Amino acid sequence: MSYQIHIDGFVALYIFMVTAFAGWVIIGRVPAILHTPLMSGSNFVHGIVVVGGLFTLLSASTPLEQTIGFVAVLLGAGNVAGGFAVTQRMLAMFKTSGHGSVHATHGVRHAKSAKHAAPAAVKSISPKKT
Amino acid sequence: MLITISQLIIGSVDLTAAFLLMFGLWRMASPVTAPSGILVAGVGMLAAIGASFLYVFTVDAAARPHLPLNIGLAAAALIIGAGVAWWSGRRVAITAMPQAVALFNGMGGGAAGAIAAVELFGGQTHGATQLIVTLLGALIGSISLSGSVIAWAKLDSLLKKPLNLPGLQWFNGLVLLLGVLVGGYMVYGAAGGGTPVIAMSHLIEIFFGIALVYGILMTLPIGGADMPVVISVYNAFTGLAVGLEGFVLQNPALMIAGMLVGAAGLLLTLLMAQAMNRSVAKILFASFGPGKKRKQGAIKGSLKPVQASDAGIFMRYAKSVIIVPGYGLAVSQGQGKLYDFVKLLQAAGVSVKFAIHPVAGRMPGQMDVLLAEAGVPYDIIVQLADINDEFKDADVALVIGANDVVNPEARTDKTSPIYGMPILNADMAKKCYVVKRGDGKGYAGIVNPLFYADNTFMVYGDAAAVCTSMTEAVRGLGAPAAAA
Dihedral (C-alpha) B126, B132, B134, B135: value to the nearest 10 degrees?
Answer: 140
- What is the structure's pLDDT at B170? 84
CA distance, residue B298 to nearest chain A CA (Å): 32
Across the interface, whether the CB atoms of B41 and A27 are under 8 A apart is answered no
Q: Which of B226, B340, B404, B427 is catalytic?
A: B404
Q: What ipTM score was computed for the predicted complex, to two decimals?
A: 0.85
Q: How sure is the predictor about A108, in pLDDT bands with cuts at 50, 70 and 90?
A: very low
Supply φ then ψ for residue A102, to 5 degrees.
-60, -30
CA distance, residue A100 to nearest chain B CA (Å): 10
Residue B325 backbone zone (phi > 0: left; psi -120 to 50: alpha; other: beta): beta
pLDDT for residue B82 is more than 80: yes
Interface test with A, best of B57, B70, B227 (most A CBs within 10 A): B70
Of A1, A41, A78, the CB nearest to B81: A78
Of B21, B101, B111, the CB nearest to A76: B111
* Mean pLDDT value across chain B: 86
Across the interface, whether the CB atoms of B268 and A38 are under 8 A apart is answered yes
> Average of pLDDT values for B434-441?
78
- What is the structure's pLDDT at B411? 84
Picking from A119-128, B281-290, B310-319, which range would have the lowest pLDDT averaged per residue? A119-128
Hey, which of A68-72, A102-106, B202-206 has the most confident mean pLDDT? A68-72
Q: Where are the alpha helices (DSSP H) in B286-383?
A: 308-316, 327-332, 335-347, 366-374
* pLDDT tens digits for range A46-102: 999 999 999 999 998 889 999 999 999 999 999 999 999 999 998 888 877 765 443
pLDDT for residue A44 is more than 70: yes
- What is the structure's pLDDT at B239? 95
Of chain A, the end-to-end C-alpha distance in Å amounts to 52
Q: How sure is the predictor about B150, in pLDDT bands with cuts at 50, 70 and 90?
A: very high
Which three-class secondary structure state does DSSP give residue A22?
A: helix
- What is the structure's pLDDT at A1? 57
pLDDT for residue B442 is more than 90: no
CA distance, residue A126 to nearest chain B CA (Å): 10
Q: Which residue of B has its CA nearest to A23?
A: B260
Q: Which residues of chain A neighbour B118 with C-beta distances below 8 Å?
A: 56, 60, 65, 68-69, 72
Q: Which residues of chain B neighbour A48 with C-beta distances below 8 Å?
A: 17, 21, 45, 48, 242, 253-254, 257-258
- CA dist B128 and B189 (Å) reads 10
- What is the structure's pLDDT at A18? 94
List of residues 6+ apart from B163 with CB closer than 8 A: B220, B221
Across the interface, whether the CB atoms of A78 and B17 are under 8 A apart is answered no
Q: Taking the CA of residue A9 as centre, how many other CA atoms within 13 Å lie in the half-sphere pointing to its CB?
A: 8
Please name which of B46, B45, B51, B40 lies closest in space to residue B12, comparing C-alpha atoms.
B51
List of residues 6+ apart from A17 with CB closer than 8 A: none
- CA dist B458 and B399 (Å) reads 10
* pLDDT tens digits for range B89-102: 998 888 888 889 99
CA distance, residue A71 to nearest chain B CA (Å): 7
Go through B201-224 and write b for each residue having 16 or more CB atoms within 10 A of its CB, e for each that does not. Answer: eebbebbbebbbbbbbbbbbbbbb
> Average of pLDDT values for B336-359?
90
**Catalytic-residue membership of B404:** yes
- What is the structure's pLDDT at B193? 66
Of A24, A34, A53, the CB nearest to B31: A34
Across the interface, whether the CB atoms of A39 and B364 are under 8 A apart is answered yes
pLDDT for residue B79 is more than 80: yes
Q: Which residue of B has its CA nearest to A58?
A: B70
Share of chain B above pLDDT 90, in %: 39
- CA dist A45 and B254 (Å) reads 10
* Structure-model confidence comparison of residues B231 and B195, the more confident one: B231
Supply φ then ψ for residue A127, to 5 degrees.
-60, 115
Across the interface, whether the CB atoms of B259 and A36 are under 8 A apart is answered no
CA distance, residue A90 to nearest chain B CA (Å): 7
Q: Where are the alpha helices (DSSP H) in B335-442?
A: 335-347, 366-374, 384-387, 409-412
- What is the structure's pLDDT at A125? 40
Across the interface, whether the CB atoms of B86 and A128 are under 8 A apart is answered no
Q: Which residue of A has its CA nearest to B11?
A: A3
Across the interface, whether the CB atoms of B375 and A102 are under 8 A apart is answered yes
Supply φ then ψ for residue B435, to 5 degrees.
-95, 125
Tell me the CA distances in angstroms from B5 to B10, B184, B254, one per residue in order.
Answer: 9, 40, 21
- CA dist B89 and B75 (Å) reads 20
List of residues 6+ apart from B191 with CB closer than 8 A: B128
Dihedral sign of CA atoms B242, B243, B245, B251 in order: positive
Q: Where are the alpha helices (DSSP H) in B156-251?
A: 168-190, 200-219, 227-248
- CA dist B286 and B281 (Å) reads 8
Interface check B347 vs A, CB under 8 A: no
The answer for B 271-300 residues in CB contact with A (under 8 A) is: 271, 274
Interface test with B, best of A2, A3, A4, A43 (most B CBs within 10 A): A43
- CA dist B285 and A85 (Å) reads 33
Tell me the CA distances in angstroms from B424 to A79, B302, B367, B379, B385, one per residue in order.
Answer: 36, 21, 14, 18, 9
* pLDDT tens digits for range B122-138: 877 778 888 999 999 99
Interface check B26 vs A, CB under 8 A: yes
pLDDT for residue B17 is more than 60: yes
Question: Model-level pTM greater than 0.90?
Answer: no
> Average of pLDDT values for B258-285?
84
The answer for B 27-46 residues in CB contact with A (under 8 A) is: 28-39, 41-42, 45
- What is the structure's pLDDT at B156? 83
Q: Which residues of chain B neighbour A11 with C-beta distances below 8 Å?
A: none
CB pairs under 8 A between A and B: 454
CA angle A105, B462, B364 (to 5 degrees): 65
Q: How sure is the predictor about B145, in pLDDT bands with cuts at 50, 70 and 90?
A: very high
Whether residue B288 contacts residue A95, with contact meaning beta carbons closer than 8 Å, is answered with no
pLDDT for residue B455 is more than 50: yes
